[in-house]
A and B are shown apart, each in its own frame.
Chain A
Amino acid sequence: MVEALTNFFEDLGMRKIPEQLEFLLTPENIPFAIWETLYAPLLATVLAYVIGLPLGILLVTGEQNGIRPLPRPLMQVLNTVINLLRSIPFLILMVLVMPLSRLILGTSVGTMATVVPLTVAAAPYVARLVEGSLREMDRGVIEAAQAMGCSPWQIVTKVILPECKPSLITGATNAAITVLGYGAMAGAIGGGGLGAIALMRGYNRGQTLVLYVAVIILVILVQIIQSVGTALAVKTDKRIQKTNSKKEKRK
């Protein structure tokens, strides 16, 4: 079978097929790469939400006409820092936060070490995503909550977050996929995963087949995350009338 595959790909004009096949067909290589591709970015996304969600909430509630206005200079600093972090290219950021990684994790290389730059890069992005979601919120509903004697904290936890849940899930899906994309660059600082394989083996060593396989698996992973995210957002959104359409189908 290996021979047949070798012939098939070599007929397509690819070179060095046997060693590539050997790598791809070794049982643990690809699953391990998938695991490495997922865990660092997903962990970073979660951490980014720990930082970015409160920041995004503050960006909306702290405005001058928000539900809990904060001093104007503080808001300006917050906005500037977020914009600053977002404007640094990830490749540069990765190098810049190396001392931080060393401080937190004791190392600045390897897959785990990429969690730090990924989090630093994703947190401000998440803050903006959350801000965008919360801005869609109907102000009238917030006003109604205020009229009922809701405290600002209750408005955030009991009104804004539950009402914006579908949009927040959509945002989180976006964030996860973006961070996954950043993670593919992590190979540059010794991180593993499909991105690193595509870069190191596929591109640098001219192993085209490995490159293709790695990219295709990445595409599939992104598709899965997107589908799950969208399905979850639709499922939780009570503004969409699902029961009706089902009834109509039954007829």
Chain B
Amino acid sequence: MIEIKNVAKTYKSADGDFTAIRNINLTVEDGDIFGIIGLSGAGKSTLVRCINLLEVPTEGDVLIDGQSMLSLSHKELLAARKKIGMIFQGFNLLSQRTALGNVCFPMELAGVPRKDAVKRARELLQIVDLGSKENSYPSQLSGGQKQRVAIARALATDPKVLLCDEATSALDPKTTRDILALIRDINKRTGITVVVITHDMKVIEEICTKVAILDGGVVAESGSVEEVFSSPKTEAGRRLVYPDGIPFEMLPNSRVIRVVFNGGTAYQPLIASLAIDCGVKVNILGADTRSIDGKAFGTMLLGLPESESEATRALAYIAAQKDITVEEVRDYRG
């Protein structure tokens, strides 16, 4: 379990102090795939580096399995880091070592005998589906392959935690899905706790069980992915969950509502039945479906008719449906 307690990080510089993150309180349970999402500059990378103390928090503490990271001696910290794997956007492989050499590297540091290390590295390369590339140098591998080597390397010392810092941001959509599937698979097989940093909603949808939205250095919202995605409570949450909405100024003058289908029933013919049952015609301004953990989540932006009575009737009808939440959109901006 990772407990992030009241963590803050302030950078001191000549032109004044800059607080990257503050008041961060998060708990990541064992076996979770925990997503931390935010736009650039939200402090995600700083936050994830506070977990393995690549960045030392200026306030608060980080506890891993109850052990305070900040109270560790330098030596103990180096040992603790061996139990926390990390992968990066830029892969960060050793360019002068082969794939096998890269995977052996952390075991070399840990003093694993060469023969055992090579054996384990071969196994790991098999797991990430790169068994045939063990003698290739990073320059001979594609981005996805490099990230697979990095994952194998991160797993070499049997860590309990895997930190992924924008690990798929440099990859194309197909490769991204493959890498995410691999991470999910490893999580299922080994029960490793995964912390995923990303700016991409799709990554969260694809693999995370819990999510925290970081905005301006603070946690705006956190909870299960279902919860946060079906009804984001904050402006930052809405900005991320409904990124492609049309600008507020362009909405019609009549009332606009957002309808969210909370799993399972995304395909019920709501609009058709609304027209038939109530005789109200609504205008679909936007729609989107996401699949989270196997369940379908749909959102729809509807323009209600100008007539107040028709609008009220439609609203009441929709609100009465099962598994659907509805809210009026006033402050929504895409």
Cβ contact within 8 Å between A241 and B79: no
A215 to B66, CA, bound (A): 73
Cβ contact within 8 Å between A243 and B140: yes
B164 to chain A, nearest CB (A): 12
Cβ contact within 8 Å between A240 and B92: no
B77 — nearest CB in chain A belongs to which residue?
A: A149
In A98-156, which residues have CB < 8 Å from any B CB?
138, 140-141, 143-144, 146-151, 154
| Interchain CB contact (< 8 A) of A149 among B82, B93, B98, B138 | B82
In B151-200, which residues have CB < 8 Å from any A CB?
153, 157, 163
Contact with A along B104-141 (1 / 0, CB 8 A): 01101110000000000000000000000000011110
Q: Contacts A140-B90, A143-B54 given; indicate if A148 touches B95 (C-beta within 8 A).
A: no
Question: In the complex, which residues of chain B have a beta carbon less than 8 angstroms from the beta carbon of A141?
Answer: 92-95
Q: Is B86 an interface residue (CB 8 A)?
A: yes
Q: Is B84 an interface residue (CB 8 A)?
A: yes
Q: Is B5 an interface residue (CB 8 A)?
A: no
Number of residues on chain B facing chain A (CB within 8 A): 32
Q: Is A251 an interface residue (CB 8 A)?
A: no
Cβ contact within 8 Å between B78 and A149: yes
A116 to chain B, nearest CB (A): 35
In B59-116, which residues have CB < 8 Å from any A CB?
77-82, 84, 86, 88, 90, 92-98, 105-106, 108-110
In A229-244, which residues have CB < 8 Å from any B CB?
236-241, 243-244
A164 — nearest CB in chain B belongs to which residue?
A: B96
Question: In the complex, which residues of chain A have a beta carbon less than 8 angstroms from the beta carbon of B79?
Answer: 149
Question: In the complex, which residues of chain A have a beta carbon less than 8 angstroms from the beta carbon of B86?
Answer: 144, 147-148
Q: Is B52 an interface residue (CB 8 A)?
A: yes
B307 to chain A, nearest CB (A): 60
Contact with B along A16-60 (1 / 0, CB 8 A): 000000000000000000000000000000000000000000000
A187 to B237, CA, bound (A): 77
B87 — nearest CB in chain A belongs to which residue?
A: A144
Cβ contact within 8 Å between B78 and A140: no
Q: Is A86 an interface residue (CB 8 A)?
A: no
Cβ contact within 8 Å between A238 and B92: no
Q: Contacts A158-B108, A238-B95, A239-B139 given; indicate if A148 touches B81 (C-beta within 8 A).
A: yes
Question: In the complex, which residues of chain B have a beta carbon less than 8 angstroms from the beta carbon of A237?
Answer: 96
Q: Contacts A146-B54, A149-B79, A162-B96 given; indicate if A154 touches B109 (C-beta within 8 A).
A: yes
| Interchain CB contact (< 8 A) of B137 among A144, A147, A159, A239 | A239
Q: Contacts A141-B94, A239-B139 given; indicate if A148 touches B106 (C-beta within 8 A).
A: yes
A162 to B97, CA, bound (A): 9
Cβ contact within 8 Å between A238 and B54: no
Question: In the complex, which residues of chain B have a beta carbon less than 8 angstroms from the beta carbon of A159?
Answer: 94
| Interchain CB contact (< 8 A) of B52 among A147, A158, A166 | A147
B98 — nearest CB in chain A belongs to which residue?
A: A238
Cβ contact within 8 Å between A144 and B82: no
Output the residue of A143, A144, A240 with the most chain B CB within 10 A.
A144
A244 to B136, CA, bound (A): 11
Cβ contact within 8 Å between A238 and B82: no
Question: In the complex, which residues of chain A have a beta carbon less than 8 angstroms from the beta carbon of B157?
Answer: 148
A150 to B92, CA, bound (A): 14
A160 to chain B, nearest CB (A): 10
A238 to B30, CA, bound (A): 39
Cβ contact within 8 Å between B92 and A138: yes
Q: Contacts A144-B88, A238-B137, A241-B139 given; indicate if A150 touches B94 (C-beta within 8 A).
A: no
Q: Is A165 an interface residue (CB 8 A)?
A: yes
Cβ contact within 8 Å between A151 and B90: no
Cβ contact within 8 Å between B139 and A238: yes
A110 to B108, CA, bound (A): 49
Question: In the complex, which residues of chain A have a beta carbon less than 8 angstroms from the beta carbon of B98?
Answer: 238
B86 — nearest CB in chain A belongs to which residue?
A: A147
A47 to B110, CA, bound (A): 34
A148 to B110, CA, bound (A): 9
Cβ contact within 8 Å between A151 and B96: no
Question: In the complex, which residues of chain A have a beta carbon less than 8 angstroms from the beta carbon of B94?
Answer: 141, 159, 162-163
A199 to B77, CA, bound (A): 62
| Interchain CB contact (< 8 A) of B109 among A149, A163, A166 | A149
Question: In the complex, which residues of chain A have a beta carbon less than 8 angstroms from the beta carbon of B77?
Answer: 149
A158 to B81, CA, bound (A): 17
Cβ contact within 8 Å between A144 and B92: yes
| Interchain CB contact (< 8 A) of A163 among B88, B95, B139, B150 | B95
In A71-85, which residues have CB < 8 Å from any B CB?
none
- Interface on A for B, CB 8 Å cutoff? 138, 140-141, 143-144, 146-151, 154, 158-159, 162-163, 165-166, 236-241, 243-244
What 7 A-B pairs have minimum CB-CB distances, sorted nearest first? A149-B81, A144-B92, A147-B86, A149-B82, A140-B92, A149-B78, A238-B137
Known: A141-B95, A166-B96. 15 other contacts (CB 8 A): A138-B90, A138-B92, A140-B90, A140-B92, A143-B88, A143-B92, A148-B86, A148-B106, A149-B106, A149-B109, A150-B109, A158-B109, A162-B96, A163-B94, A241-B137
